[in-house]
Amino acid sequence: MGYLLLPLTLIADVLAGYASYFYGASILPYAWAFLSRFAGPGLLYLITWPLAHWVHRVPPSSPPALIPYLQHPPQPLLGQIWVGIFLAAHLYYAIKHLSRRYDPTHLGIPQAGNPGEDKWELVRRRWHDYAEGLGRFYQQTSLLHPVRWRYTSESYAPMIELRGRQLRIREDALHQSQVRDLAPELARTLGEYNSADWVFNDVLDYYPRRLMKRHILLGIGIWIPTLLKVTLWPLLHWRRRIMAYDRLAWMCGQGQLLYDKLAALPIYGRPFFSPLPLKQQRLGQLEALIRTEHKWMQDQHLVDTGTEPPILHRPASVPAQLQSGQSQPKA
């Protein structure tokens, strides 16, 4: 769906530029005409009429009709100024976007991965594991993965994230003790890397991360694509994509690890426009996939008929932290 929503976002951005022009060329002149031609005389009439009636004088004339103020001519020059403000806002958020991507101060000093070092080999083995996991299907599926990646040292950064096409991994996650957390999240990230979602996410990151009242009140139209970003697109796109990423993790052989990780988390509340599916939805999908695969393995006599899938024997507690929000719009 990202192929459709991306052009819709860009169309909304063009309409936002026209909305900025209309605000400056028409709404502001109409508002000024309303205040000067109708609201001011009307307020003066309401104040002076009781006083004039009390002193037995002729009351003042009625306020002007409401309609004529709408005939105030628009101001094209003012509209062009507002388009300039709209473009300046675009430039400001573009600079912020590029700064977040390329300025290392935002996520520590990124280091390029070097073939042969332990951290690099740990990630490379994950690619090998995923290829083996995909090999258990009759219909072969090949996934592209980054040839090089970068490490970041900030503890509050996401464990794994894509910045454009660049993969960044938090350095403290690159240890054998953290493989249970790293492996499923890295597999889910490949879902974004192998789809148009990374482009869609990168474009959305240009817009503000939340809807700002000052943009609406000042008529800066960038709030229109931002409104789509924080309301409609999470409901129509990102919830479904997170479910698809979970399914890909299962295909890569990481379904049990991801299930254990999610099952150990408390049930989280979800705002209405959150991009996250419900925890039980994600667990339900993984359980169905694991059970279906286990049933097929029983039919093929690869496991004993009386055994149960491992989801019934999962550890009571898995020290993990949900990182599924990494695959949605950051902006």
pLDDT, tens digit, 9 for 90 and up, residues 255-296: 999 999 998 888 777 888 999 999 999 999 999 999 998 888
Instruction: State mean pLDDT over 72-93.
Output: 88
The answer to which of 3-17, 84-98, 143-157, 224-238 has the lowest mean pLDDT is 143-157
Q: What is the structure's pLDDT at 98?
A: 86
Out of 51-60, 162-171, 238-247, 311-320, give the one with best mean pLDDT: 238-247
The closest alpha carbon to 221, from 233, 230, 231, 211, belongs to 211
Q: What is the structure's pLDDT at 67?
A: 54
Q: With bands split at pLDDT 50, 70 and 90, how would you rate the model's confidence at 45? A: low
Q: Is the pLDDT of residue 1 over 80?
A: no
Q: What is the structure's pLDDT at 323?
A: 40
**Cα 139–143–146 angle (5° rounding)?**
170
Which two three-digit tokens encode residue 149?
Answer: 């990646």
| Phi, psi angle pair for 150, to nearest 5° | -125, 150
Q: What is the structure's pLDDT at 74?
A: 74
The closest alpha carbon to 328, from 255, 267, 277, 264, belongs to 277
- Cα–Cα distance measured from residue 285 to residue 275, given in angstroms and rounded to the nearest whole number: 17
Instruction: State mean pLDDT over 118-137.
Output: 90
Q: With bands split at pLDDT 50, 70 and 90, how would you rate the model's confidence at 55? A: low
The pTM for the full model equals 0.80
Domains of the chain: total: 1
The closest alpha carbon to 157, from 118, 105, 233, belongs to 105
Per DSSP, the three-state class of 206 is coil
Instruction: State mean pLDDT over 39-63.
Output: 59
Task: Kindly list the distances between the CA atom of residue 322 and the CA atoms of 184, 259, 261, 263, 279, in Å, as whole numbers in the listed order.
Answer: 11, 11, 8, 10, 10
Owning domain of residue 76: 2-327
Q: What is the structure's pLDDT at 46?
A: 61
